[in-house]
Structure 1
Amino acid sequence: MALIRKYFWLGAATVLGLGAVFSFLGVYDTDNLPFYQRYVFWTATMLTGALGTALTGPWVFDRLLPGRNPALQLACVAAIISFPVWLVIGVFEASLTGSWPLNDVPLQYLRTFAVSMIVIGGSYIAARALGLIGGLTPGAASEAAAPSPVPGFLERLPAKYRGAALYAVSSEDHYLRVHTDRGEELILMRLSDAMRELEGADGLQTHRSWWVARDGVAEVARENGRQKIVLKSGVEAPVSRSFAAEVKAAIL
């Protein structure tokens, strides 16, 4: 949600801009309608797609298909959001013609999916090129990789965290806050002991009081000249100067 808030105005501008472009081009046989009707239709359609992407994207990327090919992840998001977008198109068409031919449903959905894939894919490529999204490079895999120490570490937490994805650990006095995809939990432990226990896990120390798992990174950003890591939960982890070079070397 933090990322959605951060890029809200950019997303709003994109929706309005794409609505104008699609209206001008008269896409989907809408060129016979007055421009204002086209604009209302396409802006509503783009808004539906944008909200659907914001809600389903993190779930697909982090839960359903984590670590899979981005093309497959994007196609899955496009397939899901095409349903509500197709519904908006169908309702709009029915309001104009007074009917909604069911025999056209498969073709309408395929056309909606194609447009959704183009818009989502283009937005993803543009966002990566502009550095708006990204993460840390995955660690090199070994054929005889040792078992991850993360599951054992999570045994220290209540049962609901079994099998959770570890995002980060941060020091708070004598306690350690464990950040996961299922929430946060405080345990009595020193960061140095936690890092020793997590040795071999795919992550790195970013600050004297923070250790971050690579899979927990949503983006690496700068604010007021200082580097920071935004976790997939929206929590921001600081990056101190002494660890900046190591973090920078791991950025895509």
Structure 2
Amino acid sequence: MTITEFFRQDSMALPRRHAALLLPVVTGIALAIVGAFGTYVGMSLLTRLLHFVTGALLITALVIAVTALVRRYLFSGAEPLWAAIGVAVAVAPIGGWIVHQLLWLLAPRVLPFVTYRDLALQVLSINLFLGPLIWAIRRMPAEATDLAIDPAQPASPPDTCCSFRSKLPFAVRNAAVLSLSAEDHYVRVRTDRGEALILINLADAVAALGPETGVRIHRSHWVAHAAIRGLARQSGRLGVRLDHDLVLPVSRAGQKLLRNQADRVPSDA
């Protein structure tokens, strides 16, 4: 994944992801207003705003670049929380240097009163706050807004299915797909041989498998007919129960599709 793709995907994502990108800038504005880290002493409000917001933008761009590399070369998909924390720590020394350079440009008179170590620790503290928070925001479950699902969608061409399969790890490439779940810009593919997280749009993955193999029960979930073990209620909401007691939520549109195929679904709700 390139940095351009990272930004392009977020520009087409839900508002919660826009909020995740804007959060560092908002934090920078707040730090400037309160004069954090003693900056209220030697810097005017305008200088503080320029300092903190510019620093937030530069360090955020650096975090995005490192995260894109981590996702591509270490995980082939969304990074776990511990990796997000690791990126926050790894970026802190360079972030301290960025802040030092900004002070040299905007307020050189304060440099004698602060060390590079202090600046790196300040960046680290902010990164450790924002990093896990943004990680959590970007993985919040989608709003329970139903998608109009057309049960009569056309069968996918063979090359589409091959493209989908080629994204899977070799160990599960030819396995039977049991369910799909959208996670951020990725899709978790559960098979009878294990699961994998791949970079693909859920709609494209569903189209690749074809309408005859399963049903999209929710904007974020698809299940294969053969994997459905029944219906269940979880926290008051209807869900489809799969093997290993996994329950995936069903939207109103998904319920209609399930009713149309009730002969395939043994209900125990």
TM-score normalised per structure 1: 0.55
Matched, 1:247 2:222: yes
1:83–1:109 contact (8 Å) kept in structure 2: yes
| Mapping for residues 100-179 of structure 1, pairs under 5 Å | 104-129=115-140, 131=142, 172-173=157-158, 177-178=162-163
CA RMSD across the alignment: 4.5
Bigger CA radius of gyration: 2
| Mapping for residues 193-212 of structure 1, pairs under 5 Å | 198-199=174-175, 203-204=177-178
Distance 1:118 1:174 in 2: 44
Residue type of the alignment partner of 1:247: W
Distance 1:130 1:205 in 2: 17
- In the alignment, which residue of structure 2 is the partner of 1:37? 47
Distance 1:17 1:229 in 2: 31
- Deviation for aligned residue 1:212: 7.1
1:4–1:54 contact (8 Å) kept in structure 2: no
2:188–2:197 contact (8 Å) kept in structure 1: yes
Identify if the C-alpha distance between structure 1 residues 205 and 65 changes in structure 2 by more than 3 Å, giving closer, same or farther.
Answer: closer
Residue type of the alignment partner of 2:222: V
2:62–2:91 contact (8 Å) kept in structure 1: yes
TM-score normalised per structure 2: 0.52
| Mapping for residues 66-77 of structure 1, pairs under 5 Å | 70-77=80-87
Moved more, 241-250 or 32-41: 241-250
SS of aligned partner of 1:30: helix
How many residue pairs align between the two structures? 186
- In the alignment, which residue of structure 1 is the partner of 2:96? 86
SS of aligned partner of 1:45: helix
For structure 2, the residue ranges without an aligned partner over 5 or more in a row are 144-154, 181-186, 190-194, 224-239, 241-245, 250-269
SS of aligned partner of 1:198: coil
2:76–2:198 contact (8 Å) kept in structure 1: no
1:82–1:109 contact (8 Å) kept in structure 2: yes
SS of aligned partner of 1:237: helix
Equivalent position to 1:56, from 66, 70, 91: 66
Equivalent position to 2:197, from 216, 231, 248: 216
Identify if the C-alpha distance between structure 1 residues 238 and 57 changes in structure 2 by more than 3 Å, giving closer, same or farther.
Answer: same
1:19–1:46 contact (8 Å) kept in structure 2: yes
Identify if the C-alpha distance between structure 1 residues 216 and 31 changes in structure 2 by more than 3 Å, giving closer, same or farther.
Answer: same
Equivalent position to 1:229, from 202, 210, 213: 202
1:86–1:112 contact (8 Å) kept in structure 2: yes
- In the alignment, which residue of structure 1 is the partner of 2:235? none
Between the two proteins, what is the percent identity of the paired residues?
A: 9
Residue type of the alignment partner of 2:57: L
Per-residue CA deviation, residues 157-214 of structure 1 (Å, 9 max, x unaligned), is xxxxxxxxxxxxx963468533599x89xxxxxxxxx9x97127xx5466xxxx9745
- Deviation for aligned residue 1:131: 3.8
1:85–1:112 contact (8 Å) kept in structure 2: yes
Residue type of the alignment partner of 2:9: L
Distance 1:131 1:119 in 2: 21
Distance 1:87 1:180 in 2: 44
Distance 1:121 1:31 in 2: 28
Distance 1:175 1:14 in 2: 37
Distance 1:10 1:48 in 2: 17
Q: Which has the higher helix share?
A: 2
2:32–2:45 contact (8 Å) kept in structure 1: yes
Identify if the C-alpha distance between structure 1 residues 4 and 54 changes in structure 2 by more than 3 Å, giving closer, same or farther.
Answer: farther
Please list every run of at least 4 consecutive aligned residues from structure 1 whose deviation after the TM superposition is greater than 6 angstroms: 66-69
SS of aligned partner of 2:163: strand
Identify if the C-alpha distance between structure 1 residues 179 and 25 changes in structure 2 by more than 3 Å, giving closer, same or farther.
Answer: farther
For structure 1, the residue ranges without an aligned partner over 5 or more in a row are 133-169, 185-193, 220-227, 231-235
- Deviation for aligned residue 1:99: 8.2
